[in-house]
C-alpha cells in the first residue's frame, strides 16, 4: 500500500508519537491543571511541553500565546467569530478551504460582513494589480490567507504580502493547515496577527489536536466558556492566556502525541523535511508531465517553492474512477474530488468535478513515486 493522502492527514506517525500517547494513557492518565497530585503535575507538564515545542517550531517567544483547539477548523471559527464585526470587509485568497469560506459566508448573513476573493496567478499568488487596486480603493479590516494550498500545493508568499497588508493596518489571519510542520516558519518575524494550525497533517501528531497563535493585544471573544482550573472561585471566565480560550478538560493524550511529534520535527529539522518532500513532489511533477492525456493543475513544474501536494486529471476519466483504479489495481491511496475547497477548484478551473490529489509525506520513498508515475501512465494509456 502506498499512502498518498498526507494532505488530509499524515500517516504513518513517528513511532515516538504513539509511544508518548501510550505512556500518558498507561502511566499518567490524570487531568492537567485540575489537581495537586503528581500525575496531574505530569499531565500539566505534557501540555506545557506541547506549547513550548510548537512555539519554538513556529518562532513564537511566549508559548502562552498558543491556544489549543481540536483542529484548525475550530481555531479559525474561534478567531473569525470572535473578531469580525458588522460592516467589516475581509480579503481572502482564491484558494481558501471551507474551514475559512463557510464561517465567512455565515458571518456575511449573520453580521453583515463583506468578503472579497482575490483572483490568483497560476503560481498561486494574488493577482498583484487587483490586490493593489483593492488595497487602495477599499478599506479592509481583516485578511484571511491560506498559506499553502491543499489542492495545488502552491505556497503563498507571506514575506511579500504580509508587510503590504500591515501597512494598511489589516489584521492578518493565516490558515497554516498545510504548512505547519512542513517548512521552517517565523510567525512573529513575518508579522502575523493570527496563525492557525492543525496537529494531524504535517505536524505529524494525532487527530483532535490543533490551535492558533494570537499576537499580543488581540483578544477575540472565546467560542466556549467554562472550567479552566484557574480562578475557580469566580463565575466569570479568567481573561489570561491560554485559559481564556481553553475551557473544559483538554485532549491531553493527543497533546502528549503532538509534543512528541514536534520534538521529532525539531530533531529532523523543518528545512530538511521540506527538502525531502520537495524532492518527492518534483519527481511526480516531472513524471506526470510526460504522460499524454494527463493534466497537472497548479504551479508549473520546477517553478519555485511548493508543498508536496499535487492535483491532476486524466482526459475521459472521472477523478473518482482514477482513484478507484489507483487503489484497486495499484494499492495507491489518494483523495479525489473537491477536497473541501470548492473555492480553490473554481479558481483553478476544476469545479465541480475536482481532481485527483497526490500528497506524499515524510515517510514516502522515491521508489514509491516511480510506482505512482507508472500507475498513472498505465491508467491514462488505457483511457486514451
Partner 1 sequence: MENDLVLLLFDSIHQVMQAEQLLERRGLAIDLVPVPKEISSDCGLGITLPAAQLAAARAALEAAAATLRPRLYRRLGRGRYQPLADRETG
Ligand X SMILES: Cc1ncc(COP(=O)(O)O)c(C=O)c1O
CA distances from 75 to 36, 79, 339 (A): 30, 6, 19
Alpha-carbon dihedral sign for residues 157, 76, 62, 259:
negative
> Residue 73 touches which of partner 1, ligand X, none (CB < 5 to 8 A by kind)?
ligand X
For 203, the grid coordinates are 505536524
Q: Which of 361, 372, 363 is nearest to 6 (CA)?
A: 361
In the complex, the smallest distance separating the C-beta of residue 175 from ligand X, rounded to whole angstroms, is: 5
In angstroms, the CA 166 to CA 7 distance is: 30
> Residue 238 touches which of ligand X, partner 1, none (CB < 5 to 8 A by kind)?
partner 1
Q: Helix 38-58 to helix 252-268 angle, to the nearest 10 degrees?
A: 40
The residue (of 126 and 242) whose beta carbon lies closer to partner 1 is 242
The answer to whether the CB of 205 falls within 8 A of the CB of 13 is yes
> Residue 150 touches which of partner 1, ligand X, none (CB < 5 to 8 A by kind)?
ligand X
> Residue 65 touches which of ligand X, partner 1, none (CB < 5 to 8 A by kind)?
none
Contacts with ligand X by CB under 6 A lie at 71-73, 97, 99, 146, 150, 175, 177-178, 198, 210, 340
In the complex, the smallest distance separating the C-beta of residue 229 from partner 1, rounded to whole angstroms, is: 4
Mask: binding to partner 1, 233-262, rule CB under 8 A, as x and -?
A: x----x-xxxx-------------------
In angstroms, the CA 309 to CA 281 distance is: 7
> Residue 285 touches which of partner 1, ligand X, none (CB < 5 to 8 A by kind)?
none
Cβ burial 87-122 (10 Å sphere, 16+ → b, else e): ebbbbbbbbbbbbbbbbbeebeeeeebebebbebee
Cβ burial 204-215 (10 Å sphere, 16+ → b, else e): bbbbbbbbbbbb
> Residue 175 touches which of partner 1, ligand X, none (CB < 5 to 8 A by kind)?
ligand X
Establish if 188 lies at the interface with partner 1 (CB under 8 A).
no
Establish if 116 lies at the interface with partner 1 (CB under 8 A).
no
Burial (CB count within 10 angstroms: exposed 0-12, middle 13-18, buried 19+), residue 289: middle
The residue (of 43 and 155) whose beta carbon lies closer to ligand X is 155
In angstroms, the CA 115 to CA 97 distance is: 14
The residue (of 206 and 229) whose beta carbon lies closer to ligand X is 206
Return the number of other C-beta atoms located less than 10 Å from residue 70's C-beta.
Answer: 17
The owner of cell 498583484 is 128
Part of the chain binding partner 1 (CB under 8 A), chosen from 89-97, 178-186, 229-237, 330-338: 229-237
The residue (of 44 and 350) whose beta carbon lies closer to partner 1 is 44
Mask: binding to partner 1, 28-67, rule CB under 8 A, as x and -?
A: ----xxxxxx--xx--xx-xx--xx---------xxx---
The residue (of 232 and 353) whose beta carbon lies closer to partner 1 is 232
> Residue 45 touches which of partner 1, ligand X, none (CB < 5 to 8 A by kind)?
partner 1
Establish if 215 lies at the interface with partner 1 (CB under 8 A).
no
Residues numbered 303 to 362 that lie near partner 1 (CB under 8 A) are none
In angstroms, the CA 56 to CA 184 distance is: 11
Q: Which of 309, 290, 313 is nearest to 299 (CA)?
A: 309
Q: Which residues bind partner 1 (CB under 8 A)?
A: 32-37, 40-41, 44-45, 47-48, 51-52, 62-64, 228-233, 238, 240-243
Amino acid at each position: 500500500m502506498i499512502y498518498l493522502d498526507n494532505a488530509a492527514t499524515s500517516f504513518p506517525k513517528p513511532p515516538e508519537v504513539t509511544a508518548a500517547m501510550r505512556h500518558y494513557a498507561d502511566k499518567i492518565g490524570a487531568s492537567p491543571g485540575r489537581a495537586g497530585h503528581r500525575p496531574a503535575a505530569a499531565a500539566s507538564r505534557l501540555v506545557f511541553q506541547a506549547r513550548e515545542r510548537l512555539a519554538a517550531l513556529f518562532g513564537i517567544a511566549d508559548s502562552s500565546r498558543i491556544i489549543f483547539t481540536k483542529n484548525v477548523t475550530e481555531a479559525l471559527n474561534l478567531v473569525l467569530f470572535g473578531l469580525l464585526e458588522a460592516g467589516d470587509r475581509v480579503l481572502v485568497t482564491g484558494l481558501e478551504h471551507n474551514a475559512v469560506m463557510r464561517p465567512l459566508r455565515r458571518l456575511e448573513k449573520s453580521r453583515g460582513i463583506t468578503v472579497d476573493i482575490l483572483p490568483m496567478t497560476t503560481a498561486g499568488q494574488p493577482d498583484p494589480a487587483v490586490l493593489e487596486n483593492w488595497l487602495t480603493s477599499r478599506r479592509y479590516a481583516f485578511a484571511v490567507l491560506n498559506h499553502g494550498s491543499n489542492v495545488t500545493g502552491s505556497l503563498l508568499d507571506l514575506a511579500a504580502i504580509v508587510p503590504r497588508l500591515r501597512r494598511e493596518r489589516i489584521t492578518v489571519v493565516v490558515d497554516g493547515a498545510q504548512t505547519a510542520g512542513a517548512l521552517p516558519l517565523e510567525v512573529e518575524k513575518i508579522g502575523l496577527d493570527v496563525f492557525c494550525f492543525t496537529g494531524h497533517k504535517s505536524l505529524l501528531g494525532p487527530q483532535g489536536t490543533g490551535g492558533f497563535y494570537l499576537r499580543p493585544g488581540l483578544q477575540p471573544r472565546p467560542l466556549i466558556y467554562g472550567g479552566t482550573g484557574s480562578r475557580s472561585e469566580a463565575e466569570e471566565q479568567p481573561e489570561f492566556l491560554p485559559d481564556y480560550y481553553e475551557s473544559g478538560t483538554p485532549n491531553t493524550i493527543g497533546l502528549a502525541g503532538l509534543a512528541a511529534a514536534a520534538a521529532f520535527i525539531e530533531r529532523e529539522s523543518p528545512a530538511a523535511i521540506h527538502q525531502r518532500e520537495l524532492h518527492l513532489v518534483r519527481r511526480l511533477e516531472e513524471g506526470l508531465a510526460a504522460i499524454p492525456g494527463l493534466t497537472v493543475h497548479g504551479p508549473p513544474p520546477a517553478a519555485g517553492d511548493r508543498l508536496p501536494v499535487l492535483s491532476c486529471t486524466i482526459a475521459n476519466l472521472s477523478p473518482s474512477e482514477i482513484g478507484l483504479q489507483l487503489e484497486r489495481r495499484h494499492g495507491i491511496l489518494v483523495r479525489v474530488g473537491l477536497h473541501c475547497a470548492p473555492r480553490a477548484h473554481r479558481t483553478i478551473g476544476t469545479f465541480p468535478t475536482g481532481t485527483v490529489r497526490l500528497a506524499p509525506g515524510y515517510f514516502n520513498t522515491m521508489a514509491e513515486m516511480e510506482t505512482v508515475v507508472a500507475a498513472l501512465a498505465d491508467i491514462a494509456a488505457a483511457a486514451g
